[in-house]
Each structure stands twice: as C-alpha cells, then as structure tokens.
Amino acid sequence: MQEITTKTPAIDKTTRILKYVSTQGSVTFSQIHQTLDLAQSSTATLLNSLVAHGFLRQEKGRYYLGLTLFELGIRAIESFDIRDLAIAPMTFLRDSTGLACHLGVLDNTSAIYLAKIESPGAIVVRSWLGKRLSLHSSSLGKCLLAWLPEAEIDRLLPEESLEVKTKTTITTRSAFKAELATVRRQGWAFDNEEDYDGVSCISAPVFDRNNKVIAAISMSGVSFQVPEEKIPEFVELVKTAANMLSESIR
C-alpha cells in the first residue's frame, strides 16, 4: 500500500489506520500502533475519534470499518457523472456495430438523451443531446419503463390510447404493457421503426447497485443497417455495453 505524506500528520495517521483496517477486516489496538509504528497515546486518541464519528466501530476489543465510510462511499459513487462512466461502454458499442449509440434517462414523461457517440459511417441518424423521445415508441423508453411498478407506468401513460408515430407504433397502453413484460423477460428492447419511419433501435437497461434501472444504452441505425439476421448479434453487444456501465456504477 502506497504511503502518502502531507503537511497534516493527523490526517495521514488517520488515513493509514483506515486503510490498514480495511485490508485486515478487524484489528486490535496493539496491532494498529505496532504495525503502523504509531505512539500509543495518539493512536488511542485517533481511534476514539474515529469510533465517535462512525468511521470505525469497536467490538470486543477489535476495530472494524464503520458504516459512515459506507455511506460516504455510496455518495461518492453517486457523485460520478454517469455520462463520464458511459464513454467507454458506448465507444465499445459504436466500434462493434458501426452505428450511433446513445445514453438515455427518464425525465418526467419522456426519455432524454444524455450522451451520444456518432456513427463513423456516412449514413447517420439525426439526433442530439437533450433530444426527447416518446416512452411508448422508443426502445430507450421501453427499457426505462419496463422495470417500474405498474402504478408508475399508469401515471406516466394515463391514457389507454397512445400517440401513433408510425404504422408500427404500439397504440394502446394494454398492448404496450405486454411489450414491457417481454422487455423484462428478455432484458432488452427493440424499436421496429415505431418512433420514426426507417429507423430501428435496440436498447438495454443500466442498473444501479440496488438493481434499479437508472438509464439505458441504445444503438440506432437506418433500418437496412439493422437487418433481422443481425439483431441477435447487436442485442448481445448492446447488453454487454449496458452491463459494462452497470458494473462501473455498482
């Protein structure tokens, strides 16, 4: 473990103690001050303070990491911008498929693009950051809704009749709920020219550490770029990219 020395010795000692406990699981007072070569008096003072603040817990003469560290760690992870974490998975997906890739999240009653990596080819699907998509006609929308409670789906789609975007759009809420059941079962969603004529998309959900869907990754192309025989291959690539992002968040 690399030792870092700063101009604040008390912080350095505290950090060394926490890192040491984290590597050992549980330790005694003697192990701490002897292994780290710390004075007994300062070690006792630091340990008492760490226990008081919840960074350590003491049980039967041994010290363990405390839940305050867990809480701070969760907040630290949540502070990462998901767009930064999505760059590598989306680049992998774009390079593997040659098609445009998007990261989308649920925002009120629509899906919205947070990030995009453009296709390297001459044929591109027009989209932009901040673009909103209908929940019932886009593959992103399907992924973002599929794992929600039914009451929340009803709140977001209060009418049985759904807007017709193309000839393949799902136009009733009951039929859409059946589609969402399929999405949950298979773990991915397909937009078969349901949002725009001539454009097909495949999406997969991104899960946080609590198995809650917080985003979705998609690949989009003109429909002849997403032929039926290529869909199984594309599905696995999209799911791989989404899993990569899920793992980086957890």
Which of the pair, 170 or 131, is modelled with greater confidence? Answer: 170
Q: What is residue 26's three-state secondary structure?
A: coil
Higher pLDDT, 126 or 79: 126
Q: Are strands 100-107 and 62-65 parallel, antiparallel or unpaired?
A: unpaired
Tell me which of 29 and 76 has the higher pLDDT.
Answer: 29
Span 233-241, mean pLDDT? Answer: 97
Check whether 68 has a pLDDT greater than 50: yes
Q: 3-state class of 39 per DSSP? A: coil
pLDDT at residue 238 above 50? yes
Range 9-76 classified under CATH 1.10.10.10: yes
**Confidence grade of residue 1 (pLDDT, cut at 50, 70, 90):** very low
Beta-carbon contacts of residue 170 (< 8 Å; ≥ 6 apart): 136, 137, 162, 176, 179, 194
Residue 101 Cα distances to 54, 121, 204, 220, 223, angstroms:
43, 13, 12, 6, 15
Domain borders along the chain are: 9-76, 80-249
3-7, 61-65, 86-90, 96-100: the lowest-pLDDT one: 3-7
What are the tens digits of pLDDT across the range 185-220? 999 999 999 999 999 999 999 998 889 999 999 999
- Evaluate whether the domain defined by 80-249 bears CATH number 3.30.450.40: yes
Element housing 214 (H / E): strand 213-222
Contact predicate 214/107, CB 8 Å: no
Q: Which one-letter DSSP state was computed for residue 202? A: E
Looking at residues 42-59, what average pLDDT do you find? 94
The pLDDT of residue 3 is: 64
The average pLDDT across 63-69 equals: 92
The answer to whether residues 106 and 142 touch, using CB atoms and an 8 Å cutoff, is: no
DSSP 49-109: HHHHTTSEEEETTEEEE-HHHHHHHHHHHHHS-HHHHHHHHHHHHHHHHSSEEEEEEEETT
Structure-block tokens of residue 25:
């699981």
Q: Is the pLDDT at 245 greater than 80, yes or no? A: yes
Q: Could you tell me which residue, 244 or 72, shows the higher pLDDT?
A: 244
Q: What is the pTM of this model?
A: 0.68
At 80 the pLDDT is: 59
Kindly give, in sequence order, each residue whose CB lies less than 8 Å from that of residue 174, ignoring residues fewer than 6 positions away: 160
Say how many C-beta atoms besides its own lie within 10 A of residue 180's C-beta: 22
Q: Would you give the distance in Å from CA 193 to the centre of its chain?
A: 27
Q: What is the pLDDT of residues 70-79, one digit of tens each?
A: 888 766 655 5
